[in-house]
């Protein structure tokens, strides 16, 4: 990541890479050097379209006086045709990014992607697409919010990009943040909506690549309680869920698993805080994974998709 950018004569200081920030290829710009310093500006261009990213104070009686929002102005042939205010408000420095990506086929110009990063130790990156329709109106569609890095890739070769994000359902569900493995969640823009296509056939090559990487993990990584759920899930996407499940049952060492002491309420009608001790029960690591997979609708793929 570049450390200093100079655009339109204004200095834009990009954020240094730290654990707290997304480490993908997209640059994030610091819109405010501090609560009082000048707002920075970033511009991208495509044909006769120019997009300017800047920032300003939040005009709300409920907002902190130091809070800011990103402001995105779109110009066609030097005439401003649209303005978007970021969903999130943030104090300095405030990390944002803009880029062009071609996501949909039913218009003439690429989509404008606004990336907002919340800051903080973990979470959250939010991507919003600004789509220009053939009647020249603009639609704003929130594509995804996730923790960490995502990337655009044309996974099916149709010329339009899909968004790959880490699947946060696997984050800190079975292990610490650092030890959580997350398979890809894949999102496609279809008929104006962000659609999850993770389990569709066109996503297989992505899952296979992820699985190849997992398979190169060493023995110590495989001992992580965060490893097996991702391994089983991605195998389920590929039609080998049952084999992966069996492999986990034969391989995992109960004594190594932090979630071996997970406690549930055996009465599903009761929330855990209202559950009497007599109905509480410790469950094993496999039981825990099974319950969660049932909840996210993936258990059937584990049970019945043997891939044979
Ligand atoms: Ca595509």
The confidence band for 86, taking pLDDT boundaries of 50, 70 and 90, is confident
User: 187: CA distance to ligand 1 center in Å?
Assistant: 10
User: 161: CA distance to ligand 1 center in Å?
Assistant: 5
Q: Does the reported pTM lie above 0.85?
A: no
Instruction: Give buried/exposed letters for 139-159 (b at 16+ CB in 10 A, else e).
Output: eebebbbbbbebebeebeeee
User: 201: CA distance to ligand 1 center in Å?
Assistant: 13
User: 109: CA distance to ligand 1 center in Å?
Assistant: 16
* Preceding omega of 93 cis (within 30 degrees of 0): yes
**Domain span at 28:** 1-148
The contacts found for 15-21 with CB under 8 angstroms, 24 or more apart, are: 15/93, 15/95, 19/121, 20/119, 20/120, 20/121, 20/122, 21/95, 21/117
User: 191: CA distance to ligand 1 center in Å?
Assistant: 14
- Count of domains in the chain? 1
pLDDT at 108: 80
The confidence band for 97, taking pLDDT boundaries of 50, 70 and 90, is confident
User: 204: CA distance to ligand 1 center in Å?
Assistant: 13
* In-domain check, residue 75: yes
The confidence band for 306, taking pLDDT boundaries of 50, 70 and 90, is low
* In-domain check, residue 117: yes
* In-domain check, residue 31: yes
Reported as a single tens digit per residue, the pLDDT across 238-288 is 999 999 999 999 988 766 665 556 888 999 899 989 999 999 998 888 998
The CATH number given to whatever domain includes residue 123 is 2.40.128
User: 153: CA distance to ligand 1 center in Å?
Assistant: 7
User: 290: CA distance to ligand 1 center in Å?
Assistant: 32
User: 200: CA distance to ligand 1 center in Å?
Assistant: 13
pLDDT at 13: 26
pLDDT at 124: 81
User: 210: CA distance to ligand 1 center in Å?
Assistant: 18
Helix axes 285-295, 241-251, angle to 10 degrees: 160
Tell me what percent of the residues of the chain surpass a pLDDT of 70.
Answer: 73
User: 70: CA distance to ligand 1 center in Å?
Assistant: 29
* In-domain check, residue 142: yes
pLDDT at 65: 57
* In-domain check, residue 230: no
* In-domain check, residue 199: no
pLDDT for 187 beyond 80: yes
**CA 270 vs CA 25, 259, 264, 277: distances in Å:** 45, 21, 10, 12
pLDDT at 305: 62
* In-domain check, residue 156: no
* In-domain check, residue 93: yes
User: 140: CA distance to ligand 1 center in Å?
Assistant: 20
Reported as a single tens digit per residue, the pLDDT across 131-168 is 998 888 899 999 999 988 889 999 999 999 999 999 99
pLDDT at 1: 30
pLDDT at 148: 82
User: 305: CA distance to ligand 1 center in Å?
Assistant: 26
The confidence band for 117, taking pLDDT boundaries of 50, 70 and 90, is confident
- CB-based contacts of 200, cutoff 8 Å, min separation 6: none
């Amino acid at each position: 990541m570049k450390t200093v950018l100079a655009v339109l004569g204004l200095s834009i200081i990009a954020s240094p890479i730290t654990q707290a920030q997304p480490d993908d290829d997209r640059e994030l710009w610091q819109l405010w050097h501090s609560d009082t310093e000048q707002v920075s500006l970033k511009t991208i261009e495509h044909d006769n379209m120019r997009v300017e990213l800047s920032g300003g104070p939040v005009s709300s009686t409920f907002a902190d006086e130091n809070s800011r929002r990103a402001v995105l102005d779109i110009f066609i042939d030097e005439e401003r045709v649209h303005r978007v205010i970021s969903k999130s408000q943030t104090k300095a420095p405030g990390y944002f990014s803009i880029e062009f990506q071609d996501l949909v086929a039913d218009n003439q110009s690429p989509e404008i992607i606004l990336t907002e990063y919340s800051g903080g130790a973990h979470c959250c990156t939010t991507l919003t697409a600004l789509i220009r329709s053939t009647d020249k109106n603009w639609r704003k569609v929130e594509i995804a919010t996730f923790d960490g890095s995502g990337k655009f890739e044309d996974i099916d070769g149709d010329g339009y990009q899909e968004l790959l994000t880490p699947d946060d359902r696997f984050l800190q569900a079975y292990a610490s943040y650092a030890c959580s493995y997350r398979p890809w969640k894949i999102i496609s823009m279809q008929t104006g909506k962000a659609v999850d296509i993770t389990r569709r056939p066109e996503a297989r090559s992505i899952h296979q690549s992820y699985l190849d990487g997992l398979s190169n993990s060493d023995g110590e990584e495989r001992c992580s309680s965060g490893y097996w759920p991702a391994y089983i899930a991605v195998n389920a996407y590929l039609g080998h869920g049952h084999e992966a499940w069996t492999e986990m049952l034969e391989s995992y060492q109960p004594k190594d698993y932090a979630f071996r002491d997970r406690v549930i309420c055996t009465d599903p009608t009761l929330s855990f805080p209202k559950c009497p001790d007599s109905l509480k029960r410790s469950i094993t690591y496999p039981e825990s994974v099974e319950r969660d997979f049932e909840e996210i609708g993936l258990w059937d793929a584990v049970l019945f998709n043997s891939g044979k």
